[in-house]
Amino acid sequence: MTRLGIIGLGNMGGAIAEGVLTGRWDDDVTVMGYDVSGAAMERFTELGGTPAGSVGELARRVDLVAVVVIDDDQVRRVCRGDGGVIAGAAESGALVAIHSTVLPATVIELAAEAAEMGVVVIDAPVTGGAGGARNRDLVVICGGDDAHTERGRPHLERYGALVVNVGPLGAGLRAKLARNLISYAEMVVAQEAISLAAASGVDLRAFAAIVNHSDRNIGPHMGIFTRPINHPPPALGGSFVQVAHKDLGGALTLGQELGIDLPLTSLVDQHIAAAFGE
């Protein structure tokens, strides 16, 4: 039997849980979940998941703990303390995979603390969106020893179509921050193109058809042209802007650490709220 635990049952964590719980498997899979939201826990239970009373209880009863909370502070909060994930994993021997997109330094710091208790923590951010999670088609980008990635692979492949190790601890998050930079920059530039086309009197439906067809060879633009097109753009909500600032801030911090100048990243961070905020 595979025992998977998911902490954070929001947009991504809830979708991961749904994908695993609705999948067809050759073996038995138990999925335990925890979230501070009662509504998220209710939805998870309706899907057939087993609710946990705390993050510590969850970590004591599973083989892999998937941490899918929002930011660095939340990752630290659920991992540390007598009732936290690390303490629970010390009893069960569970592997802890941080799927949240946080700073590499955060996971490296927690991994060092966990190692003192005999617990392995890896960075394993995911990409592919909630739809990819429900379809078990995510990319899981692992950092750390190859052996740790292989240990987690049977669990991670429940929702990751591609599970890849990209280097030492922290490398997964560095790769994810770089990947996210492409997406967020594309979104802002695409909206500028829409504004230019609109101001020029171009038929926006025709423009969308042009971009969608040419993108077969050029690449996606975060779905801007694959849903009904509007100008001015619809607000994507405060949570999107909050997450965008977090991810872009992570890329900028990483650039500072490496001595790499990222002027476009800074500009995207400055303007993404104006382009897509409420």
Active site residues: 176
Q: Are 32 and 85 in contact (CB under 8 A)?
A: no
Q: Taking a C-beta distance cutoff of 8 angstroms, is the pair 151, 30 a contact?
A: no
> How far is 166 from 162, CA to CA, in rounded Å?
12
- CA 156 to CA 36: how far, in whole Å? 23
Q: In what order do the strands lie in the sheet with 138-142?
A: 126-127, 138-142, 160-165
Number of helical H runs and strand E runs in the chain: 12, 9
- Helix, coil or strand: residue 127: strand
The single residue listed with the structure tokens 């969850």 is 58
Instruction: Tell me the angle at which helices 11-22 and 38-46 cross, rounded to the nearest 10 degrees.
Output: 10
Helix, strand or coil for residue 114? helix
What angle, 0 to 180 degrees and rounded to 10, lies between the N-to-C axes of helices 171-199 and 238-258? Answer: 120
Structure tokens at 14: 């809830």
Cα-based torsion angle of the residue sequence 270, 273, 276, 278 in order, rounded to the nearest 10 degrees: -160
CA distances from 55 to 8, 31, 85, 191 (A): 10, 14, 6, 41
